[in-house]
Every structure is written in C-alpha cells, then in structure tokens.
C-alpha cells in the first residue's frame, strides 16, 4: 500500500495504526452504562436507551464483530498470508453512525462493518470527529441519551480501524479540494473519495452524493 497510518491527535490508542498491525479487534461487550446521575431508572422524555445491554443495538453490533474477529483469527493460514497493513475498504462516518444508532439502514451498515473489519478498514483522520459529532447530534435531537452516546463512542473506538496519513499530504489535499469542486461535495466527504481512489479501495458510504461521485470516477462502492 502507499499510505501510512496514525491515530488522530495521538490520543486514541484503541483506533489502531498500521504500525501496530496484527489481529483486528472486534467490539467487546461492556457492562450496560448508567443514565445521567448514576440512576438505572428509565430515560425520560422518550429518549432511546436501547443497545445498553447484550440484546440491544450496541450489544448485537459488538457481538457480531467479536464473532467475525474470532473467525478471522481462527483461519491461521489465511491470516499469516495477509500483510498487517492490507486494507480493503474506506469507511465513512455515515456507515459508523448507522451501525451504532438504530435507523433504516442499520442492518446494512452493520453487515458492511463486519466485512470491512475482517478485510481491513481505513479512513481519513477526521472520521473520529465526524462520528463524535454525529452521535452528539443524535443525542441533542432526542434519539439517544448521554450514556448511550458514550457507549456508542466506545464501540467505535474499539473497532479495528486504521487512520490514513498520505505520504504527500499537500498533493492529497489538492486532490481532495478538486474532487469537492468537481462533484459538489464537502471537503470532509471528498477526503474519503480521494483516499479510496488513491489506494484503489472500496468506498463504504451511505451518503448519496458521495456514492454518485465515486461511481462517476469508477470507484467501487459498498453497499451496492
């Protein structure tokens, strides 16, 4: 591959770098979080609390990823032949948010995340901020509560994702701006497309404009 990887800001060791390589971690089950103030009482005002236990959205998401990780590590022959830096997908924030918070495309997003964790997943460094902001907006709009938001963020940080740092960042940034101009994308979305195009990877996204731009450039997309 032609890219290097690193943790955004150097502060999140659980979002792994390419140098750490090796086996990929699936999400792990954590004890259910408590509501604000430490109470186990039901959330107020209809705020969603699903996913807090093993049978909830986050529990199912983490359990599926854990099984995929065990199956991948069990295939020792294939695993030894795969370089630790091999990556097959660029995954954008829309897929992570849909996989972590119940919505119309949640099952599709989770299936893609499971496949990408086994095959290899990479994203631009700003994906962490986008996922954090997406979860914050879900909380502010009343779809989830604070405890769910924090648990979802922990699930994301436990996902086997590597962060890309281009060898020639100036050139990558210019290509990103050009893609944003030509296809009417935000710079944030164009960065996912630039990475997928540069490295010849599949672009995993639920964003319609980003998917259209990728298809126009001959970049493979998922889900199909």
Going by the annotation, the residues of the binding site for Mg(2+) are 92, 189
What's the token pair of residue 82?
Answer: 């795969």
Whether omega before 223 lies within 30 degrees of 0, making that bond cis, reads yes
Please give the annotated binding residues, written as ranges.
92, 189
| Cβ 115 vs Cβ 87: under 8 Å | no
Calculate the alpha carbon distances from 63 to 53, 95, 186 in Å: 11, 18, 34
Closest CA to 18 of 1, 41, 40: 1
Starting at the edge strand that comes first in sequence, how are the strands of the sheet with 121-124 ordered?
A: 4-5, 161-165, 121-124, 89-91, 202-204, 221-222
Spatial separation of the C-alpha atoms in residues 211 and 174, rounded to whole Å: 20
Spatial separation of the C-alpha atoms in residues 5 and 59, rounded to whole Å: 29
| Cβ 3 vs Cβ 165: under 8 Å | yes
């Amino acid at each position: 591959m032609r890219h290097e990887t690193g943790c955004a800001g150097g502060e999140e060791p659980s979002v792994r770098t390419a140098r750490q390589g090796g086996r990929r971690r699936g999400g792990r089950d954590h004890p259910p979080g408590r509501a604000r103030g430490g109470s186990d009482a039901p959330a107020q005002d209809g705020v969603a609390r699903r996913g807090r236990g093993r049978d909830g959205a986050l529990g199912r998401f983490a359990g599926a990823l854990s099984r995929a990780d065990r199956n991948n590590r069990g295939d020792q022959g294939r695993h030894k032949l795969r370089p630790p830096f091999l990556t097959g997908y660029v995954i954008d924030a829309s897929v992570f948010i849909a996989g972590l918070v119940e919505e119309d495309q949640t099952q599709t997003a989770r299936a893609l995340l499971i496949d990408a964790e086994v095959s290899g997943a990479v994203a631009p460094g700003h994906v962490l901020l986008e996922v954090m902001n997406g979860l914050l907006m879900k909380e502010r709009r009343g779809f989830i509560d604070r405890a769910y938001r924090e648990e979802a963020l922990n699930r994301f940080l436990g996902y086997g994702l590597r962060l890309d740092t281009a060898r020639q960042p100036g050139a990558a940034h210019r290509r990103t701006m050009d893609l944003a101009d030509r296809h009417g994308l935000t710079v944030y979305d164009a960065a996912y497309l630039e990475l997928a195009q540069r490295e010849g990877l599949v672009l995993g996204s639920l964003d319609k404009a980003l998917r259209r731009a990728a298809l126009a450039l001959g970049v493979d997309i998922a889900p199909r």
